Amino acid sequence: MKVAVAGTGYVGLVAGVCFAEKGQNVICVDVDENKINMMKQGISPIYEENLQELMQKNYKEGRINYTTDYKNAYKDADFIFIGVGTPERADGSANLDYVFEVAKQIAQTIEKDCVVVIKSTVPIGTNDEVEKYIQNNLKHNVKVTIASNPEFLAQGTAVNDTLNASRIVIGTEDLETKEKMLNLYKNFNLPIVATNRRSAEMIKYASNDFLALKISFMNEIANLCEVVGADVEDVAKGMSYDKRIGDKFLKAGCGYGGSCFPKDTKALHYLAQQQGYELKTIKAAIEVNKNQKLVLIRKARKKFKTFKGLNIAVLGLTFKAGTDDLREAPSLENIPILLEDGANIKAYDPVGEENFKRKFQEQIVYTNTPQEALRDADICFIFTDWDEIKSIRPDEYKNLMKKPNIYDGRNIYKINEMKECNYYSIGR
């Protein structure tokens, strides 16, 4: 079967590569010609474990290709996956412009019956709207059906999350489309949840927002632990033995970020408001996370009334380890405050530096090792728990820094390891 994929970001590219790995003939479409040429050379535009290797393997074996020519890509495809971005608008709603631009291209170019699959995260009811749009604008007399097939990948483990997913969710409105989707995924040999389209769209939002809620809950508990003298890590461990709770997403820190949780919580909250309903729990998660991203700055302000003239080491720029994505990263909230206060910043991140330079080129000194960033620093902020950062020995802070004031937003170290430093963490 021929599978066309619109968009080569985390959603589209990972989906395309994984379908190729499972034996399908895949063509990935993007408007950026430089990006297409880079991918044809076997270079991934995003940092993701095992993605580049699978790109090279399947391109060499002829199962995947890349193009800007959407007309030829779509016209005879059996499946067309829409995997473009749905960025957040200022009011919190999802911007569907890219989705409908692809829908327009599909309507104008397809010359055979096909299934259009929306893999992008879209508000409930979007599949219905796309179906109406395409059917009202078809140039040729062909049959098109729409399926919802949301992704459940995490950045940093996206390939594994796709090839070894906990479940595949398929939303359709007719038996024929359902059978085609089941056949497409048969080589994955994974559990499949088949439902209608609106339920599939809601499964995606409900899943992401529940995890965001879980993180925010633990951050609130962590903040209270500091007040009452409890240890949030002991609390989380005690909770984790309850199978109804589990041990995932119980780690307290300086807030969640990335391309999914911030955007999806706001989008579902906005959607509910438009329907005259307020999701109080989701609203709370959004507020808690916004507040949590500045928790380290507030801790430091208690000791330092100003950061002017101080040497500050920032360890970790991306929103989490394993990715070069900066979207909603705590570093983006904190560094402007430090710069405005007049701090001298040295920053280290093993893969996020180039992306960060596009936002802060000259104001920051970027280092090749975390030790270089720590040298002669008055304060160290840890925003990401990369292995390179976790491997720093406690005595290195004392020996390298002018004063070992460490503000750890990821609870990398145990309290007793850092007794010779001024060490501040989350919820302990």
Type of residue at 278? E
DSSP-assigned letter for residue 188: G
Measure CA 250 to chain center.
18
Report the distance separating Cα 43 and Cα 200, nearest Å: 33
Report the distance separating Cα 298 and Cα 292, nearest Å: 10
Of 319, 316, 335, 338, residue with least CA distance to 327:
319
Active site residues: 260
- Position of tokens 């709207």? 129
Report the distance separating Cα 394 and Cα 424, nearest Å: 13
3-state secondary structure (DSSP) of residue 415: helix
- 9: tokens are 């970001």
Contact 105, 66 (CB under 8 A): no
DSSP-assigned letter for residue 302: T
- Position of tokens 């989906």? 15
- Position of tokens 């507030």? 298
